[in-house]
Amino acid sequence: MLYLLPATAADSGGLDDTDIALIRLLQINGRAPFSELAKRTGLTERQVARRVDQLLTSGLIQIAPVCNPAKLGLKSIAMIGVRLTGGTRAEAVVTAILEQGFIDYAAVTLGAVDVLVEVMARSDGELRALVEDHILARPDVAQVDIHPYVGLSYQLPVWEDVQRDDEAEIEIYESETDPLDETDRRLVALLSRNGRATFQSLAEALEISESYVRKRYKALVGRGDMQVHALTNPVSLGYDTHCWLKMRLDPGQSLAAATRRIAALEHVAYVAVCTGRADLLVEVICRNKAELRDFIGERLGRVAGVRCTESLLCSRLFYRSVPYNLFDGYSATG
């Protein structure tokens, strides 16, 4: 996951309806001008600025870029299902595995596997070496199930129908694409530290003109290589039930069309097109198990040509922001 804050983010106690409205607007466009946010919420610009600063300071939101990982040089990503040996505490294993910088997400699950981890690498060879060296080599790991991604469909980090009219067209990110050049990578890295940094401050840090920074930013967004959103831990907004679904497509079904239909459903946060025992891995975020039951039994059931073959309810989630120099010191060959 590249779009969620750590699970230790502050809870939502004290948020009012206006705060929630601001968060949802910033989830759509994290760099929306205060004047636009004021118009949409009925506040003054000064009130908007103060509230946004409070949300950022409290840790409830982070405004940061969301990119196609391949554009950052991470061309090989996989979700790894890990089955542990008897008597092993899953949380302890996850904590140890997360010490490795190449893992940005892990979940303790109730299902056929004990743990899910998302692994990122520059190549398939490097990914295999990472899995062998840091997961399979552990004595408490009995078996792994590897699902390499061949495409991603990121949702905006909003899980309610009320926002559907504001969402951009759903795109499937390709895993084989040219990476960003050095200037764009540095721009993305700067925005990861402060997603609302002014173009003037970005220009000074990059030692280029402000007009050129604006041009670069507009091009990144226009090509779909990057968007800037308010990122938040769903639990802090009352979404306490998380589940991963493994799905298979019926013969003759269009993978791209099915991916877009599923990604457009309420409660879907993340869709990975993959190989292995599933065609799609889908992350579903709900307020409670009743919503999850309705999603699986009703909403998903109306999507033709797709079968849910396995569900993994998450009992605990772990997230970490991925640094953009993630693999500078790793020596695995690929």
Share of the chain above pLDDT 70, in %: 86
Supply the pLDDT for residue 152: 83
Residue-wise pLDDT tens digits, 190-247: 998 899 999 999 999 999 999 999 999 999 999 888 889 998 878 878 889 999 999 9
Supply the pLDDT for residue 158: 56
The overall average pLDDT reported for the chain is 85
Supply the pLDDT for residue 323: 52
The CA distances from residue 215 to 187, 199, 222, in Å, are 12, 10, 10
Side chain identity, residue 202: L
Q: Residue 67 — pLDDT band, cuts 50, 70, 90? A: confident
SS3 sequence of 248-279: EECCCCCHHHHHHHHHCCCCEEEEEEECCCCC
Cα-based torsion angle of the residue sequence 152, 156, 161, 166 in order, rounded to the nearest 10 degrees: -120
What is the C-alpha separation between 96 and 93, in angstroms, rounded? 5
281 in Cβ contact with 272 (< 8 Å)? yes
Supply the pLDDT for residue 117: 94
Contacts made by residues 238-241, CB under 8 angstroms, sequence distance 24+: 238/12, 238/287, 239/159, 239/285, 239/286, 239/287, 240/287, 240/288, 241/285, 241/286, 241/287, 241/288, 241/289, 241/291, 241/292, 241/313
Q: Residue 101 — pLDDT band, cuts 50, 70, 90? A: confident
Q: Quick one: which of 41, 307, 266 has its CA closest to 155?
A: 266
> What is the H or E stretch that residue 90 is in?
helix 90-97
Lowest mean pLDDT among 5-9, 27-31, 277-281, 305-309: 5-9
What is the C-alpha separation between 67 and 25, in angstroms, rounded? 19
Supply the pLDDT for residue 334: 38
Supply the pLDDT for residue 28: 87
The answer on pLDDT for 257 being more than 60 is yes
Encoding tokens for residue 175? 């895993």
The CA distances from residue 71 to 25, 63, 281, in Å, are 26, 19, 21
Confidence (pTM): 0.83
Side chain identity, residue 18: T
Between 171 and 248, residue with greater pLDDT = 248
Between 48 and 254, residue with greater pLDDT = 48
What is the C-alpha separation between 193 and 316, in angstroms, rounded? 26
Supply the pLDDT for residue 167: 41
**Domains parsed from the chain with CATH numbers:** 17-62 (1.10.10.10), 181-224 (1.10.10)
Supply the pLDDT for residue 155: 59
Lowest mean pLDDT among 133-147, 175-189, 246-260, 320-334: 320-334
Q: Looking at residue 301, what DSSP letter applies?
A: G
Residue-wise pLDDT tens digits, 143-197: 999 999 998 876 555 555 544 443 445 666 777 788 899 999 999 999 988 999 9
